[in-house]
A = this chain, B = another copy of it.
Amino acid sequence: MDLQHTLDDIRDAVRPYLGEGKVARYIPALASADPKKFAIAAVTVDGEQFVSGDADHRFSLQSISKVFTLTLALNAVGADLWKRVGREPSGSPFNSLVQLEYEHGIPRNPLINAGALVVTDAIVSRCGGTLSPIETILGFIRDRAGNDAIAVDEEIARSEAETGFRNAAMGNFIKSFKNLDNDVATVLDVYFRQCSIAVTCAELSRSMVYLANGGVDPVSGERVVAAERARRINAIMLTCGHYDASGDFAYRVGLPGKSGVSGGIAAVVPGKMAVAVYSPGLNERGNSLVGTLALEMFAARTGNSVF
């Protein structure tokens, strides 16, 4: 069956499940998401785009932005980044702060909030030249997605900042171990804004395809990262991309992926394509319930699993 049919079939197959799960409620802009929305999109390493469902509906990247900032920071800092952040799965969320303490302010990996703050701090210090840090990040995502109109949703960014006490705790805690170079407030501001960049599901799949294609954007032909680095970012997504459900996602879907609390998930089929899904209802681990189901169907129907 061709890819378009597969995506359409999945869209139809998940319909009965739409509305299950719980939309994130900690800020109004997320709480008002329509739980019936669903989109799935793919871009192959040939640059072909396939979409099904509400593929033009815009949502904030949230934690998916961590994959892009990791790419940027690795390009800027290189392997030295690993002195400041680990690459091991983090275990239960309960342990996040105690692990930071036990490991002297070195976050477990760049895809949990603590690690993402360190990555953003590295970008604040090292990237951009004349561009501000958030412009650098935004520019990178616009390039990846091929759309210069992509922007920060300022309302979401403001809400994130107003309710982000836990991230502020984390930032200050890391700073107390001298593992942030810049002001906590500066890093948090960039972080909250990177999380609030709004994309469509189509753009999301398009923007991730460099990781399926050995580090080269197949549309523009631009080399984004070295092939080995792309593989390694995929490895980190597989082991750490879904918080404390990373093992479950690997078990059920078998693809590197990264989820965001707004309901998006981006996944990579190495050598073949990037796939993105959107559905705002979350499962009890904070990942898109129907999105995970859709990717499980995708992997099962297409035989695309890294295992």
A130 an interface residue at 8 Å Cβ cutoff? no
Residues of B near A173 (CB, < 8 A) are: 97, 165-166, 169
Quick check: B99 and A95 within 8 Å, CB to CB? yes
* Shortest distance between the CB of A181 and any CB in chain B (Å): 13
Q: Which residue of B lies closest to A256 (CB)?
A: B307
Q: How far is the CA of A252 from the CA of B266 in the complex (A)?
A: 23
Quick check: B231 and A305 within 8 Å, CB to CB? yes
Q: At the interface, is chain A mostly helix, strand, loop or mixed?
A: helix
Quick check: A307 and B235 within 8 Å, CB to CB? yes
Partner pick for A101 among B94, B240, B247, CB 8 A cutoff? B94
Max count, chain B CB within 10 A of own CB: residue among A168, A251, A307: A307
Interface size for chain A: under 10, 10 to 19, 20 to 34, or 35 or more residues?
A: 35 or more
Quick check: A102 and B97 within 8 Å, CB to CB? no
Quick check: B236 and A247 within 8 Å, CB to CB? yes
Residues of B near A35 (CB, < 8 A) are: none
Max count, chain B CB within 10 A of own CB: residue among A88, A89, A230: A88
Partner pick for A87 among B108, B231, B247, B306, CB 8 A cutoff? B247
Quick check: B172 and A307 within 8 Å, CB to CB? no
A250 an interface residue at 8 Å Cβ cutoff? yes
Partner pick for A176 among B99, B101, B166, CB 8 A cutoff? B166
A109 an interface residue at 8 Å Cβ cutoff? yes
Residues of B near A91 (CB, < 8 A) are: 88-92, 95, 99, 108
Quick check: A184 and B165 within 8 Å, CB to CB? yes
Residues of B near A98 (CB, < 8 A) are: 94-95, 97-98, 101
Q: How far is the CA of A307 from the CA of B271 in the complex (A)?
A: 8
A213 an interface residue at 8 Å Cβ cutoff? no
Interface string of A248-261 (1 = CB under 8 A from B): 10110010100000
Max count, chain B CB within 10 A of own CB: residue among A235, A246, A305: A235
Q: A173-B165, A235-B307, A239-B239 are in contact. Are A246 and B88 (CB under 8 A)?
A: yes
Quick check: B172 and A165 within 8 Å, CB to CB? yes
Q: How far is the CA of A87 from the CA of B91 in the complex (A)?
A: 11
